[in-house]
Each structure stands twice: as C-alpha cells, then as structure tokens.
C-alpha cells in the first residue's frame, strides 16, 4: 500500500512517534516478540536495546521503545507498525528515511535474536517458545516475506511451552 508523506506522519502520530523518531517503529516487532509469552525478560530487553543501536534508534525514539518495554503495546499498534515498516521499505522515501527494502529481513533476524535471548532451561535447547515462534511467523507473513528457514530448524519444547516441562 502506498502512502503519502502526510499519511505516514499521521500513522506515526497514532503510535505517538513523530517524524524525527520514526525508526522506533522498526523495533515494535521485536517488542511484540518479547511480550509474546506475557513478560519481557532482561535478556530480551537487552537485545532490543542492542538492536536499537544497530538500527540507529536513539533519543525520543529510544524513549518510546522503553515505554513499550514497560507497557505491552496492543495488537492495533503491532498492525500499524507492520504496515509502516512495509510501506517505508517499499517506498524508500519520505520522512528523510534511508530504509532499504532488506530492512524487513533484518527486523525478522533481530526478532529471532530477541526470541532466543531468554534462553531455555539452563540455556539448553528449546530456546524459542511456541508463542514467540508463532509471533515471528505472523510477522513474517505480515511483512510479505517467505518464512525464514531458521523457523523450521528451531527445536520446540515438549508441549510447546517451557512452563509445561
């Protein structure tokens, strides 16, 4: 879907982001993966902060990300962020963005890193729980990308959740 610069600004404003902090939207999928199991764990928050540095998220944008780590964003926020990421990558313009199309691939790779950050029991296998894996698959579909091969290679805990081990 194509958006004018004004439409992009309006969508960002709905996320409480302005055009100077638009890069925060790149971290929303990571935040949602971290919240997928209902709680943000310290290693997940740390990975998101590392991703923020890598993606050039700082200042007001980083402050907004910190708010999302404290209070779980709703589903509408996630849907908006997906659409904005795709739009920014496809249009490669507006808001002074330098967002190449491969950024969506990078966001998904960072989602994997966040999902794996909390580790499993004693840091053994089964590092990505079923809810995180499901969120990443949903994000992959939403970002119109083929599912990354690593999704099928990740071991799953018995019954799909750590709590059931």
| pLDDT of residue 37 exceeding 70 | yes
In terms of phi and psi (left: phi > 0; alpha: psi -120 to 50; beta: otherwise), the region of 38 is left
Q: Write the pLDDT tens digit of every residue in 90-143.
A: 665 555 555 666 777 888 888 888 888 876 554 554 467 778 888 888 878 776
Q: Residue 158: pLDDT band by 50, 70, 90 thresholds?
A: very low
- Count the Cβ atoms, other than its own, within 10 Å of residue 100: 12
Closest CA to 163 of 130, 117, 140: 130
Q: Is the pTM of this model over 0.85?
A: no
pLDDT at 135: 81
Rounded-to-integer distance, Cα 40 and Cα 84, Å: 24
In contact, 132 and 164? CB cutoff 8 Å: no
Q: Residue 31: pLDDT band by 50, 70, 90 thresholds?
A: very high
Q: Write the pLDDT tens digit of every residue in 58-80.
A: 999 999 999 999 999 988 888 88
In contact, 142 and 82? CB cutoff 8 Å: yes
Q: What are phi and psi of 154, to 5 degrees?
A: -75, 130
- Count the Cβ atoms, other than its own, within 10 Å of residue 74: 10
């Amino acid at each position: 879907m194509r958006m004018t610069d004004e439409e992009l600004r309006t969508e960002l404003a709905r996320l409480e982001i302005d055009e100077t902090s638009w890069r925060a939207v790149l971290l929303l999928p990571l935040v949602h993966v971290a919240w997928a199991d209902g709680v943000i764990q310290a290693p997940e928050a740390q990975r998101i902060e590392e991703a923020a540095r890598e993606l050039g998220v700082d200042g007001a944008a980083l402050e907004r990300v910190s708010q999302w780590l404290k209070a779980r964003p709703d589903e509408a926020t996630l849907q908006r962020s997906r659409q904005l990421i795709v739009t920014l990558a496809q249009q490669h313009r507006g808001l002074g963005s330098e967002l190449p199309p491969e950024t969506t691939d990078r966001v998904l790779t960072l989602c994997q890193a966040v999902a794996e950050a909390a580790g499993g029991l004693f840091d053994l296998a089964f590092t990505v729980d079923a809810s995180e894996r499901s969120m990443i698959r949903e994000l992959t579909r939403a970002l119109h990308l083929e599912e990354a091969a690593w999704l099928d290679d990740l071991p799953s805990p018995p019954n799909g959740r750590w709590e059931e081990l």
